Chain A
Amino acid sequence: MKKFRSLLLAAATLAAVNTIAKADLVFGTDAAPYPPFTTQNAAGEWEGWEYELMVAICAEMNEKCTMVPIAWDGIIPALLEKKFDGIFGSMAMNDERKKQIMFSDMYYDSMTVMMGPKGADKNFTPETFKGKTIGVQASTSNANYAEKYYVPAGAALKAYKGQDEANADMAAGRVDYLVADGISQMSFLATADGGCCEIYGPVPHDAAVLGNGVGVGLRMEDTALRDKLNAAFKSFAAKGGFETLNAKYKLEGLMAVPPKG
């Protein structure tokens, strides 16, 4: 009887866990910290440029939204499994992803850069990578890029679960280079660990791999949500919302955003 009672208790707790109120729209993002875009802070809340953009866009759409964390390498399967309605996580719109999911309009574009130790040779033509190690975040367009251009030239790829882990290993000298997003790396350079390194420059663009900017990732059939999001991005841009947001995060001139008019 006792055992039965504890079972009932467990079932009741489970039910309680499952009935946590759901918002109207749920967006998934990388569980690992990705400053300045999405980070979970000490108050147990989200913060960052992209989180604030999501809140503003949802206000435009008159929807109640929440952000949920998910491992980056499982984010597309989780979207397809309907664990959330969209990916609001700096996802580059490249060809490979477009085969599986659909994207909203571009809401920002930045450059993929090569980062290395301070004071070293800044040349990074493919020939310089023989026997070198390049750190990337797994399942990113940056990882695909390094795979396509630098691995054939003799570089070894080291894939990390989060960009923060790749950065920590760069600071510890366990990788020779990082291929990563320029804005996230600017934010890394501003930290104490960032003193180790500098940005050597943007890598030559390849739109097929790196995509043309970042959009909200959606399931192929959710065209109504896509149209709603696109309209919201447009009206937010027309209000000058992107400029205000970029000023707050000191990102003016570093990223391309949808034009005002």
Chain B
Amino acid sequence: MTVMETAPLEAAPSRAPLRDFRAALRRQPLMAIGLGIIVVLVLIAIFAPLIAPHPGDAGNVTHPTETLLKPGGSHLLGTDQLGRDVLTRVLYGARTSLLIVVVVLAISALIGVPLGIVAGATGGWIDDVIMRITDVFLAFPALLLALALATVLSPSAEHAALAIAVTWWPWYARLARGSALAIAQRGYVEAARALGVPRWKVLARHVLPNALPPTIVQLSLDAAGIMLTAAALSFLGLGAQDPTPEWGLMVNQGQGLLETNWWVAIVPGVAIIFAAVGFNLLGDGLRTLLDPKAGRRW
């Protein structure tokens, strides 16, 4: 957006980042909550096999005699229509969701940031070409490209992640371009150029490190949106496929059972909201940290 391009964020120089971070957490309890939620999610994702009560239920199994059991007993959050433990599948679902988020963010940043920096720091026709390509991809809604990809390739979590990444990287290209534009005019960059430092070295050594902080903030702000998009794709049947434990897919599988067996859809639904709230709080906190003027959103 134009607003971002005209006013790139700038990192405040800091000598003790860790201490500053702790102080920031004290100042911003909401960010601390967000960080807490994400840490819990990551721990769940890593240790899912250890904490899940029925680890086997995350895979390709059915228990025809235990279908749609009410929450309680050995199935704290009940079972689904195939008799699989809902708690187990929700815990494993954290793996799928976090993995998709990380993959999408990594691909988008790896494509977008270098392109944006080259565009912003070089200018001229290279800038024009890169930004028009960016605009074309920006015009493609992630959901629709995923629909198209799902018809071309088969629907799966990987292809959904690919589709989201293809439509997500332009935002980082725009953001990095804005930062690079501002940084390229700084004295030290001009000095490096005047000294005859090769262009790619100026980009890598001076422009890139300074363009990263705003990008990192944007990555954390975007995580919730990516997770929701991935869940939406799975819900439509265009993302992860059974038996992959994925929250959006689980809501889809439980949508006809709200009347009789609410837990099948509601438990994974709450997990999605929980994770999205965590990402949103953390991202907003980081943004305030980097750019106190912008003010908190929540």
Decide if A and B are genuine partners: no
